[in-house]
Amino acid sequence: MNKDPLQNIKNEIEREVFQKITPVSQKRTIMTKIRSEKQHNSSFKTIFINIAAPLCFIVIFSILTSSYLFQDEKVKENDTEETEDQFTFIPIDELDEQMKDEKARTRRSANPIEKIEETKDFKEEEVQNEEKGKEKEEQEESPEADKVMPLALFDFTDLLNRPEVFKQEARKGTFMGTPFTLGDSMDDIQAQFKDRYEVGKDYDRVENYLLQYHQEERKLSQVRSDISSVYTLNQVIETLGEPYYAYDRSRDVFTAKYYYGDYMVTLNLDGQNKGKPYTEAGVQTIDRSSFITSISLLRRDGSPATVSSDVKYLGDEETVVFRTEWFNEARDEVVNNTKAIEVLLRSQQDPLEFNIVVPQETTEVEMRNIAHTFLKKLTESSGKSMEETIWNSFSYIVHIENSIDGYYDTGVSYVSTTNDSSPINQWGYPEIMWTDGLKSP
């Protein structure tokens, strides 16, 4: 028997209530209840946040504003206290006078017409000063002597790029790229280049150009320009063709020459060039890689020059070795068939050098004949083993030495000072040119 008297009644009521309702699982019932509680809590939190956030913002803003105003008020109070302490009592009359003066100054400074006039006067003075300064600079920088355009450096590249123009100008006697023409009056040139004209010892100078003239005629006879050593003889040959060559032994200068009408162009060479020994202008070897150091234009003259076909270029020449057997044959010929006591070989390089020792009583004619016999035999002996003569590769020096009292004379191979090559006599060797007592026959 149940303890609860109403238990039977409850059971009947439950049966009637849940008779037509599908029972729900306990899990589902629990989950539904949890969701309803969360929704309730979240709605409460949302309402709280919506109300609390604006209130917090208002409180923070009011605090910041009140602190800023407090600082600003403190500054104002401090300023008020300082100004009150600084000011002293000023009588009304003096204050009125100060105010009148201040107003007058303010009116004057505020007058636009006066300010404009003052500014205008200042600008006009400034413009006038600038114009005067420019005129003064122009007068200083452009004197009458400077009205002539400055002369440019001689452009050797222009010569190589325009060889026909260069040749045409040279045929007229004009130095390419300049106003200088041979035959011009030196007085006119001096007047034209007044402050830039320098008088020198050998040449007068106008900027980068050296001018030469005959003192009596006062006419321009030569124009020269020194140039930087960057251009080679080989470049010139490829552009202008083969030149003539000359050697000035007194100055040890080699030149390449080109002839155009009545004028010639000379180029000074700096390289491994070699002159023929004991000659005034003979050229033996030319270095095609020689640098051009200067270029000159002058009238054509009869100065000696060697054609390029008679010159050996460095590196192209054949090396000829002098053989001692040639010398031995020539020495034996002289010692056995003349009065010569001995013949000595002093040098096997160019120039070949020989010493012929003769007795004291030997006459000049006999000395000349002994030297002739020796050179003739030497030419024959070398010719047996060479296709060309030995004298295309060598020059010679012959010393005649007296064995008793030291009589001494020297003969060298003679070279022509004209455009012709060294003259070869009928026996095949270059003529002897005696330098001391002996005379050529």
Six token digits for residue 35 = 């969701």
Amino acid found at 5: P
Six token digits for residue 432 = 């002897």
Torsional sign, CA 143, 148, 149, 155: negative
Contacts 24+ apart (CB under 8 A), 155-158: 156/227, 156/231, 156/292, 156/295
What CA–CA distance (Å, rounded) separates 306 from 263?
A: 18
Element (H, E) at 413: strand 408-413
Asked if residue 194 lies in contact with residue 202, where contact means CB atoms within 8 angstroms, the answer is no
Phi, psi of 144 (to 5 degrees): -60, -35
What CA–CA distance (Å, rounded) separates 371 from 414?
A: 14
What CA–CA distance (Å, rounded) separates 303 from 418?
A: 8
Phi, psi of 430 (to 5 degrees): -65, 145
Q: Do the bridges between strand 263-270 and strand 253-260 make them parallel or antiparallel, or are there none, so unpaired?
A: antiparallel
pTM for this one?
A: 0.48
Phi-psi region of 428 (alpha: psi -120 to 50; beta: other; left: phi over 0): left
Q: Enumerate residues 6+ apart whose C-beta is below 8 A from 62.
A: none
Element (H, E) at 342: strand 342-347
What CA–CA distance (Å, rounded) separates 145 from 244?
A: 41
- Picking from 296, 301, 265, 260, the residue whose alpha carbon sits closest to that of residue 172 is 260
The predicted pLDDT at position 214 comes to 85
What CA–CA distance (Å, rounded) separates 263 from 55?
A: 112
Amino acid found at 419: N
The predicted pLDDT at position 239 comes to 94
The predicted pLDDT at position 331 comes to 93
Alpha-helical (H) ranges within 338-363 are none
Spell out the domain ranges in the chain. Answer: 111-142, 156-313, 324-434
Peptide bond into 351 cis (omega under 30): yes
The predicted pLDDT at position 264 comes to 96
- Picking from 325, 318, 302, 323, the residue whose alpha carbon sits closest to that of residue 392 is 318
Would you write out the chain's pLDDT as a tens digit for each of its 441 residues? 445 667 777 777 767 665 555 555 555 666 766 666 655 555 555 666 667 667 777 777 777 665 544 555 554 555 555 444 444 444 555 566 666 666 566 555 544 444 445 555 555 556 566 665 655 555 555 444 445 556 778 888 989 999 999 999 999 999 998 999 999 999 999 999 988 899 888 899 998 899 999 888 899 999 999 988 889 999 999 999 999 999 988 888 999 999 999 999 999 999 989 887 656 678 888 999 999 999 999 999 888 888 888 888 887 766 778 888 999 999 999 999 998 999 999 888 888 899 998 888 888 888 889 999 999 999 998 888 776 788 877 888 888 887 655 556 677 775 443 334 456 788 888 888 887 655 544
Q: Enumerate residues 6+ apart whose C-beta is below 8 A from 412.
A: 277, 278, 351, 395, 396, 397, 398, 432, 433, 435
What CA–CA distance (Å, rounded) separates 277 from 375?
A: 18
Largest pairwise CA distance in the chain: 191
Six token digits for residue 217 = 């005629």
The predicted pLDDT at position 92 comes to 53
- Picking from 276, 278, 272, 354, the residue whose alpha carbon sits closest to that of residue 314 is 272
CATH code at 324-434: 3.30.70.2960
- Picking from 341, 350, 352, the residue whose alpha carbon sits closest to that of residue 401 is 341
